[in-house]
Amino acid sequence: MSTSEPFNVDRIVSLWTELLQLQIDIGYYPTDDFISFPPPEGRPIDEKLCQELHLTDEVISLLKRLPCPPNFSEAYDTPIFDESMAVPFTDNEWIRNSRDLKRCWYANDNEPLRLDYLKPEELALVLEIDDTGRHLILDTKANTARFFIAMEEMFNPGEGEEGIHEVLDDPMHYRNYPARPAVEVLEELVATFRDLVWIPVGHGIGWPRILTAEDQELNEHTDAKRILQEQFGWPDNFDKEQWNRQRTEIWKRLLYSDEVRSAVAAKHLEEKMQFARRLDMQAQAENKCRIL
């Protein structure tokens, strides 16, 4: 699909900045200056690399202007979404790697990076780290975005979503996933953090994670949302100073009490058992196909 509105680099940069600023304000990152914010004229980038990748002017402008983690290590260690890494545009290697969503983690001589896997007018903002992670891909020509979990089976598109498979010989190809207006996708992601549908839990309180409505063994998500809104005025009257003083103890109480640990352990055990059962069923199905 494509939209009738032209792609607006300024609007995309503004929304991406707003999303990251919400995560900064809530204390997700180690320091408030953790994220690399380019100067107004944009960060310097490798023009030769951009030519090699045949990137369009719009994509190059985004590479110069989008805030991002400072390097790969920090990006990987602090996922922007669950099991999902914001691409560090400060790192040439990952500007290159992010052009191939499937092989970016394991490319080798037998399976090298396909630098034309993404189209020249497309840019990956987020890459999955694990099977439950998400990709976020901008298409600057169509003015759309794809936000999806690559390991999920394809589903029927909703209203305003494209449902035609572009790549018939690869059902899991990223262009077979629904595309929606880019601004709409980013606005919804901003709202997801602003409205505390997803709540970032940052450094100093265990491994960085995103608390969601699924984290309800003992109402952790509901309690965290209530505390942030009622006690600290999130988002419009947020008392960041008081929150920074108290958040470590609040998160410890909500997430790391013995009662919570027991409930979480039980849930994870059940998830592992379900995953093992799915793998067993897949193996049985594959064996049956070989026999036939």
- 114-148 residue pLDDT tens: 999 999 999 999 999 998 899 999 999 999 999 99
Residues 6-14 have a mean pLDDT of: 98
Residue from 150, 145, 57 nearest 103 by CA: 150
Residues 168-179 have a mean pLDDT of: 86
What confidence tens digit (pLDDT) does each residue in 76-112 have?
999 999 999 999 999 999 999 999 999 999 999 999 9
C-beta of residue 185 within 8 angstroms of C-beta of residue 138: no
Distance CA 212, CA 145 (A): 23
C-beta of residue 49 within 8 angstroms of C-beta of residue 92: yes
Mean pLDDT of the chain: 88
**Range with the largest mean pLDDT of 131-135, 194-198, 215-219:** 194-198
Q: What percent of the chain has pLDDT over 90?
A: 69
Q: How confident is the model at residue 278 (pLDDT cuts 50, 70, 90)?
A: low
Q: Which residues pair with 148 in a beta bridge?
A: 135
Higher pLDDT, 158 or 23: 23
Distance CA 175, CA 137 (A): 10
**Torsional sign, CA 109, 111, 113, 115:** positive
C-beta of residue 118 within 8 angstroms of C-beta of residue 63: no
Residue 28 has pLDDT above 60, yes or no: yes
pLDDT at 122: 99
Distance CA 221, CA 196 (A): 9
